[in-house]
Amino acid sequence: MPLTIADLMSKMPGAFLPEKAPGLDAVLQFKFSGAEAGDWYATIKDDKCTVTQGEHATPKMTLTADSGDYVKIFTGELDGMQAFMQGKIKLAGDLNLAMKLMTMFKIR
C-alpha cells in the first residue's frame, strides 16, 4: 500500500530529532495540492513535535507542494533540493528553518 500524506504527517512526531532543533519554538505549515490536497501544521516546542490537520494563523514557515511529490521526497524517490529548484516545492517565511527541516526529522 502506498504511503499517504496522512501516514507521513502522523509519523512526524516520532521522527522528530530534538537534538537537531535545540530551543526551537516554531510552527511549520504544510499546504498540499493534488491527490491528497489539504493543510497540516507541525508545532515544534519544548523539544517536542505535534502535528495537526488544518491551517495555523501565524506559521513561521510555509511549505507548499503536490502531495505526490512530497511523498516521493520522503521515500527518497525525489531530492528535496532538486524539487525546490524545479519549483515543485514552494517555501515562504523563514527559509533557514526550511533548510533545517530535512535534518530535524529522521527520514527512512
pLDDT for 14-62, tens place per residue? 999 999 999 999 999 999 999 999 999 999 999 999 999 999 999 999 9
The CATH code of domain 5-102 reads 3.30.1050.10
Cell of residue 6, nine digits: 496522512
CA dihedral 56, 65, 15, 45 (to 10 degrees): -20
Q: Where are the alpha helices (DSSP H) in 31-89?
A: 67-74, 80-85
pTM of the model: 0.93
Q: How far is the C-alpha of 82 from the C-alpha of 45, rounded, in Å? A: 29
User: Could you tell me the pLDDT band of residue 5, with boundaries at 50, 70 and 90?
Assistant: very high
